[in-house]
């Protein structure tokens, strides 16, 4: 039986990447040992570390002005690390709240400094992304924070909002490198690797070099971005296997045609599943409004909870794993990140049509 992995994270990895990791597991780069046993101070690991930054920048089409940092602690640590470094006592940061992870980022920032809510979609159960006209920025914010994709509710920013030159800080954990983006709009981008870039354990940060100079100097050493930039992300022992896997995935993305190729592929996959919802005669009800739909996480409900339980049991029996919605909202969630195949989404869409015809 073919297994299709729809887990929201840790999520599916490209099969070719897993095969290469398997081949090299006990003998990395001719060293005779695993990359997990290789010193992070060795020339072999340093080459991986450097290649990650080079590949990351190449995929974005940037040569200078930014650093790529490989950190630990997940995106959740970034929620506090960002205001610790860049939210001064006399400043305000603007937060756009569009889901649970945006709420968590806001909550951490409020423990550290002054926060202004530029928009909040909680009243609509986070089923949409706010329009540009709805955004009410403060007079002179230190930065504007947003979450580009919301895994729980299945919404995604289709275009990055205009902020009148104020640097944007973005949590891209669940749609990083699923499509191109203009790095010049961002002061800092962060993403846990475990959805689109690799296994859990490593967090990628893209940060503007002029921002590094503005970071607070009284922050604990491990929580300063400048610490990791000066030490090429090797201040302490990094998650070496996670970095190695991240490098392989970045190489795989390059082979798929880069970010433009991934965007085309992801649009095709998302359309297959959304068409199954839209053509079901109302049997399936998507959570997100149409113009806010995520290409990474498709969330929907069936007519009642009993049918949802049956749907989830039958899909699991057929090898479709990870489809239950987040515990806070229920329903069904198909996470179709970069590595999900066309065959996987076609299998899901086919089952959805069959199930709706039988029970509708």
Instruction: Please enumerate in sequence order all residues whose Cβ is within 8 A of that of 168, keeping only pairs 6 or more positions apart, or say none.
Output: 143, 144, 145, 146, 160, 161, 185, 186, 187
147 within 8 A of 105, measured Cβ to Cβ:
yes
Contact criterion met (CB below 8 Å) for 296 and 304: no
| Backbone Cα Rg of the chain | 21
Rounded-to-integer distance, Cα 203 and Cα 188, Å: 13
Q: Cα separation of 282 and 62, whole Å?
A: 45
| Active-site hit among 101, 157, 211, 252 | 101
Active-site residue, 107 included: no
Contacts of 354 (CB under 8 A, 6+ apart): none
Asked if 195 is an active-site residue, the reply is yes
Q: How many residues does the chain have?
A: 360
Q: How far apart are CA 341 and CA 159, in angstroms?
A: 25
- Please pick, among 157, 175, 195, 252, the residue that the annotation labels catalytic: 195
Number of Cβ within a 10 Å radius of residue 42: 14
**Spatial contact of 24 and 17, defined as CB atoms under 8 Å apart:** no
Q: Which of 157, 171, 211, 269 is catalytic?
A: 171
Q: What is the DSSP letter of 329?
A: T
The residues annotated as belonging to the active site are 101, 171, 195
């Amino acid at each position: 039986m073919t297994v299709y992995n729809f887990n929201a994270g840790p999520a599916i990895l490209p099969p070719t990447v897993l095969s290469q990791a398997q081949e090299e597991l006990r003998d990395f780069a001719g060293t005779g040992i695993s990359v997990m046993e290789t010193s992070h101070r060795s020339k072999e690991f340093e080459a991986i570390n450097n290649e990650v930054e080079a590949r990351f920048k190449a995929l974005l089409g940037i040569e200078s002005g930014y650093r790529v940092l490989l950190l630990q602690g997940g995106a959740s640590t970034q929620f506090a690390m960002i205001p610790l470094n860049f939210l001064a006592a006399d400043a305000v940061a603007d937060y756009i709240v569009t889901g649970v992870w945006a709420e968590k980022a806001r909550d951490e920032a409020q423990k550290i400094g002054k926060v202004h809510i530029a928009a909040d979609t909680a009243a609509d159960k986070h089923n949409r992304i706010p329009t540009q006209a709805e955004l009410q920025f403060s007079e002179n914010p230190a930065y504007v924070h947003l979450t580009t994709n919301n895994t729980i509710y299945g919404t995604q920013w289709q275009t990055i909002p205009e902020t009148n030159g104020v640097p944007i800080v973005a949590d891209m954990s669940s749609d990083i490198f699923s499509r191109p983006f203009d790095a010049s709009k961002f002061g800092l981008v962060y993403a846990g690797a475990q959805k689109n870039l690799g296994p859990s354990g490593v967090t990628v940060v893209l940060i503007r070099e002029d921002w590094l100079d503005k970071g607070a100097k009284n922050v604990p050493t491990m929580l300063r971005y400048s610490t990791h930039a000066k030490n090429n992300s090797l201040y302490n022992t990094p998650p070496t296997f996670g970095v190695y896997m991240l490098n392989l995935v970045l190489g795989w993305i390059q082979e798929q045609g880069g970010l433009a190729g991934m965007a085309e592929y992801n649009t095709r996959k998302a359309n297959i599943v959304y068409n199954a919802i839209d053509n079901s005669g109302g049997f399936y009800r998507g959570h997100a409004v149409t113009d806010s739909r995520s290409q990474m996480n498709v969330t929907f409900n069936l007519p009642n909870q009993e049918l949802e339980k049956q749907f989830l049991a039958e899909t699991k029996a057929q090898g479709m794993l990870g489809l239950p919605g987040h515990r806070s909202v229920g329903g069904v969630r198909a996470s179709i990140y970069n590595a999900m195949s066309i065959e996987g989404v076609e299998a899901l869409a086919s089952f959805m049509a069959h199930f709706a015809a039988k029970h509708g």
